[in-house]
Structures are given as C-alpha cells and as structure tokens.
C-alpha cells in the first residue's frame, strides 16, 4: 500500500492552483498566495521528491492534428500471467495512449487515438491482435468526450 502524503494548507493551495492552470508562473502563483516565489519552488521540489508531483503534461486536441477517432479497447488475455509481456508489446504501439490493468471482463483496457477508421482497423489487425497472449479484443469508438478533468483537490478535502 502506498504511503499517504501529509500536506499543509499552503501545499494544498499550491497543488489546487497548479491543477487548474499548470502554466501559471511560480512568481504569479506566489503573488496570488501571498508568499515568496522561493517558497513555491521549495514546496514544489519537496512534493516532487515525495513522489506526489510526477512530471507535467500538456492537453492536445488530437483532432486538429488529423486524429479523428478515439477508441477504447478491451483486451482479453489467454492468461493473466501474460499481462507484463503483453503490456511491454503494447507500449511499442504509439496509437495507444493509455493502458490499465482492470478487473471485470477485460484484463486490459486501453485508449487509442487514430486518424480514421481505416487507421484503427490497421492498428487492431496488424499490431494489437498479433500480440502473443491476446485472446481477443472488443472495441468501443468514442463519439464524444464529455468530461476530461483532474480530480478536484479542494483544500477542505485533502
């Protein structure tokens, strides 16, 4: 079980604000929170060292780059013991942007981004379904992403 990190009020406010706007400069964040920018740097370094803050990311509108299909793929494995081997091969497929080890019907649930249905078919047929250990797959095409957000870390809830 992972260790729960204990944060003070300022750490929580820093995280909440950065989750809302990851591009806000530390100097502006410090001004808003009435502390020095050095304090923000020290607090962020501490949260990174604790493993609480891991990297950063950028949200991209893939459709504007010509990737018009988002699909979810449930993967049934021959045996659950093949999970690590299969995931290593899935990592090599750039169209797979997420993979989760799940309970329920599927062993693995992945998210794919493809240019069109032909591209999706090619990825499924030529890449994924040829991986040893995959018994079968079930594909769901997303018609619209209605919600995409980080968890709300209000100061009172942490």
Per-domain boundaries in the chain:
9-49, 62-142
Q: How many residues does the chain have?
A: 158
The answer on pLDDT for 67 being more than 70 is yes
Domain 9-49 CATH assignment equals 1.20.1560.10: no
Q: Map tokens 């020095």 to a residue.
A: 36
- Alpha carbons within 13 angstroms on the beta-carbon side of residue 45 total 6
Please, are residues 83 and 108 in contact by the beta-carbon 8 Å criterion?
yes
How sure is the predictor about 3, in pLDDT bands with cuts at 50, 70 and 90?
confident
pLDDT of residue 158: 41
- Alpha carbons within 13 angstroms on the beta-carbon side of residue 103 total 0
Query: Model confidence over 96-118: pLDDT tens digits?
Result: 999 999 999 999 999 999 999 99
Query: Model confidence over 26-62: pLDDT tens digits?
Result: 999 999 999 999 999 999 999 999 999 998 888 889 9
Q: Which pTM does this prediction carry?
A: 0.81
Distance CA 17, CA 87 (A): 34
Domain 62-142 CATH assignment equals 3.30.70.920: yes
Q: Which two tokens stand for residue 118?
A: 């032909």
């Amino acid at each position: 079980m992972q260790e729960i990190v204990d944060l003070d009020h300022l750490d929580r406010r820093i995280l909440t604000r950065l989750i809302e706007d990851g591009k806000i400069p530390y100097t502006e964040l410090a001004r808003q929170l009435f502390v020095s920018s050095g304090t923000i740097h020290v607090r962020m370094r501490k949260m990174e060292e604790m493993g609480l803050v891991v990297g950063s990311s950028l949200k991209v509108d893939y459709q504007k780059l010509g990737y018009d299909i988002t699909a979810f793929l449930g993967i049934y494995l021959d045996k659950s013991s093949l999970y690590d081997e299969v995931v290593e091969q899935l990592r090599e497929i750039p169209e797979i942007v997420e993979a989760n080890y799940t309970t329920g019907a599927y062993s693995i649930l992945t998210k794919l981004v493809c240019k069109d249905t032909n591209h999706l078919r090619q990825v499924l047929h030529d890449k994924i379904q040829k991986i040893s250990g995959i018994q079968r797959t079930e594909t769901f095409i997303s018609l619209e992403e209605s919600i995409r957000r980080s968890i709300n870390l209000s100061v009172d809830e942490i």
